[in-house]
Amino acid sequence: MDSLPSLRCLRAMTAVAERGSVLGAAEALNLSQPAVSRAIRDLEKALELTLFERHHGGMLCTEAGQLVAHRCRRVLHQFGHAERQLAQLAPECHVQRLAQRLSLRHLRVLVTLAETLNERQAARRLALSQPTVSASLRDQEGRVGTPLFLRTQRGLIATPSGSLLTRHAKVALRELALLQDDIAAWRGEAQGRVIIGALPLTSSLLVPRAVDALLRERPGLDITVHEATYDVLFEALRNGELDVLVGVLHRIDPEEEMAQEVLLHDHLVAVGRPGHPLMGRPDLTLETLLAWPWIAPPRGSPARHSFDQQFNTLGITPPTPVVEAGNLGVICDLLRDSDRLALVSPYQVHYEVQDGRLAYLPLRLQGPPRAIGLTMREDSAPSHALRALCKALRDVSRTLSHVPR
């Protein structure tokens, strides 16, 4: 549990890199010079790297040291964010110098408790005793000066302050994990981990092709793909649990500090089973299809909004679907042996059409296109692996512009 560098080491690393000397760092941190020197030696030993060139005039970062200092600043930056937001949320908090008040063990216990909402389960996951976890939580709450969880008969409930601090703790711990990836890439080792959130529209074609291309180029990478609704994946991205979210771009509040990149634009198509009575009719319009049985996405979902918008654009009241479904496998099964219709993205059903399980209706829809792209935290510093994934996604997107509609 304590294999990563301590926050004391990270603070010393950042201060020496910025001040150029142990003396300057000691004055900035209000520590003794031997304490700062010891922290730097501990960090170099833990990472098995030489982080500074030592001269009579001071200390200069090595190439590896610059890389480590960059990630250290980003970890400590999360504490600064948390301090400012906690001060607004709970003015009674002891929010000054959180990076000095808390440890990495505190952060891990906090995050695990937020995920399990149970001290016994958290202890089991962390390989600690339950009293140790309970004591760590009490210690954190004492250091921060406000409750982080409420104890109930059903378990723990995070307070607003606990939820806020947990979010920044998750991002800080992810930055430390990326430090290990950065070092591996600097050493020429093709390893690292990328965690992708894929919305349904991209999980059938875009993301699998990009991941396949990336693994052919860098077989040592560890890639995880999570599929869920937009709200669930966006919250995971905010919390540092995802590196990138791939799918239909949504309007995001500027305060969320997210960056978006458009990869391609998507137009819906009408699909049915091969041999559907409408397949041979070249004069199809949406209005002539209103009486047919429709499968539509669940009410209230972004996909349902796109479905309704196709009809609303023409001044037509959208049909009442006979089935509401969002799972592609369910939709395909419902279309296969009936005369039902659906509006989907050609990127979702590319292989189903290619294999003859579904067919496009001869209908050109006029509704507005949807932008598909990447969403990342604005302050993120992509690892080598994440940059390679984004390049693969861009390359695949260019080929997908030729997918038949």
* All domains of the chain in start order, with CATH: 7-166 (1.10.10.10), 190-265+371-400 (3.40.190.10), 268-367 (3.40.190.10)
Instruction: Give the residue-averaged pLDDT of 276-296.
Output: 91
Amino acid at the residue 140: Q
For 238-243, what is the mean pLDDT?
90
Separation of alpha carbons 100 and 91, rounded Å: 19
**Residue whose pair of structure tokens reads 């937001």 in the numeric block:** 85
Question: What are the residues whose beta carbons fall under 8 Å from the beta carbon of 189, sequence distance 6 or more?
Answer: 220
Q: Would you state the pLDDT for residue 400? A: 84
For position 138, what pLDDT does the model report?
95
**Burial, 123: exposed, middle or buried (Cβ in 10 Å; 0-12, 13-18, 19+)?**
buried
Mean pLDDT score across all residues of the chain: 90
pLDDT digits (tens, 9 = 90+) for 110-132: 999 999 999 999 999 999 999 99
Structure confidence at residue 96 (pLDDT) = 80
What pLDDT does residue 1 have? 40
Question: What pTM did the predictor assign?
Answer: 0.76
What integer pLDDT is reported at residue 190 of this predicted model?
Answer: 64
**Rounded Cα distance, 341 and 321, in Å:** 10
Instruction: Name the residue among 323, 297, 292 with its Cα closest to residue 308.
Output: 297
Say how many Å lie between the first and final Cα of the chain, rounded.
52
CA distance 293 to 229: 26
* pLDDT tens digits for range 159-210: 999 999 999 999 999 888 888 888 888 888 767 889 999 998 888 889 999 9
Containing 263, the helix (H) or strand (E) segment is: strand 258-266
Q: Structure tokens of 131?
A: 């009293």
Judge contact between 79 and 168, C-beta under 8 A.
yes
With vertex at residue 372, the alpha carbon angle to CA 344 and CA 231, rounded to the nearest 5 degrees, is 85
Q: How many CB atoms lie within 10 A of CB 378?
A: 12
